[in-house]
Structure 1
Amino acid sequence: MATSFSLQVSVIIAPMDVSFPVFLEEAYHPAPLSEKSPTDTFVVEVRALYKLPVNYSITSGDEKGYFIIHSSSGIVRTSKNLELEDFPVNFKVRATDSSNAVIFNEVEVKVEVIDENNFPPVFPSSLLEERLPEHSPATQIVQLKAQDNDTGRNGFLTYGILNGYRLKFRINETTGILYSTAPFDYEEEPTEYQVVVYAEDDGIPEKKRGYCTVVIKITDINDWPPVFDPVPDFSVHENVPVGFIVGKITASDRDTGDNAFVLYNLT
């Protein structure tokens, strides 16, 4: 079975009587380069139409010498490692009549460089400890802030919670503020939570993350009264001396620490 395909081709015909070289583009804007582009990376091919051969050269705009151009083909390549802070670079390419240097034309080439995502976000500390009293309403616990040494979108950070405590905690993805979402009960629920927070950049070609573990300790408040244990009947004989022990009454408190310390008094 025969197959066929079609291809659209643009053909520009230069008149033989043009008085100076004519470039195929009014200005050249090649694809952005990676900041990690090695020396001799292809940038763009600049072409001019003319009745005679032309010589190509870079005349201005590339003061730091990042680019070289082949004098016959018009192919532009990098000549050294690129420094992001120097870009974009706008330089002029000249096409000159090979037999008469006073006949020429120039075109602008604009080269941009993409900031590679070199660094992951980093928190000042990978471990934090915070305390939260039980029965506190939903509240702010701590604001986390990571740093990223990249620039632009590679350094733009959003925050999230990695582990399974999203029902108990939430984080503002922009500000990094960590909140509780409901009260905690010291006596009925876990008293410690390890919340793993991440900061993620918007990097190209891939996103990178940094992590911080926030240990949240729920503290006890005095929310339980003492409760007497069952009290038996006591009896005592007459004429016992002062200070005679009649019996012992005990009480318990579901709180902890000083909140569970019970004092007894007669009323």
Structure 2
Amino acid sequence: MYQFSVPESTPVGMVVGRVKAEDSDVGENTDMTYQLRQEGVQLFKVTTDSNTQEAILTVQKPLDYEAQAFHTVVVEALNKFVDPRFVDLGTFRDQTIVRVSVLDVDEPPEFRPPSQLMEVQEDAGVGSVVGVVTALDPDAANSPVRYAIDRSTDLERIFDVDADTGAIVTGQALDRETAGWHNITVLAMEAGARSIPGPGSLPAAGRKPANFSR
């Protein structure tokens, strides 16, 4: 049995490892071809190195540690050429088991949905809740997420966000005539850990109540 470990971020086409079936024959009777059986055919691919007669196991589809951390792959070796003296016995073959461990990679939180459109009345008081954003940690640990506003998108601090709940609130009085739209970016990061912030675009629309005259 063979064992290999690869990060879940391993790109498609990357080599996981090599295995080889030993053959005591000589000449072309030592030429091998390999194929996968059972589970591994969806996520992995095997090809034959014609120079070394090794099986090259590569990633065929993206891996996901959270979905499945271990994969058992059966690699089958077959003689490429059948000796005429033994043709009635069919192709000689053998199998080995390859166990692939998928290593967890710390991933940034993901906003769901990735962007939102919110509306707020122009006369809403300071501290009024405009809406709530939600981001989740896709990793198995499912760490708590904290929120912050990218101040480069809200220099005047017109909005604030509750670091724990993701609630967007007004930080100043709004004026639709000055700015009818505010496009701000909310950042999400794992609490208590250094993590790449996951940005979420949040267009917040200021809406003025209708005025009626007699």
- TM-score band by shorter chain is 0.3 to 0.5
User: What is the TM-score with the length of structure 2 in the denominator?
Assistant: 0.46
Query: Which structure has more strand as a fraction of its residues?
Result: 2
Name which one, 1 or 2, has greater alpha-carbon Rg.
1
User: What is the TM-score with the length of structure 1 in the denominator?
Assistant: 0.38
Q: Which has the higher contact order (CA 8 A, sep 6+)?
A: 2
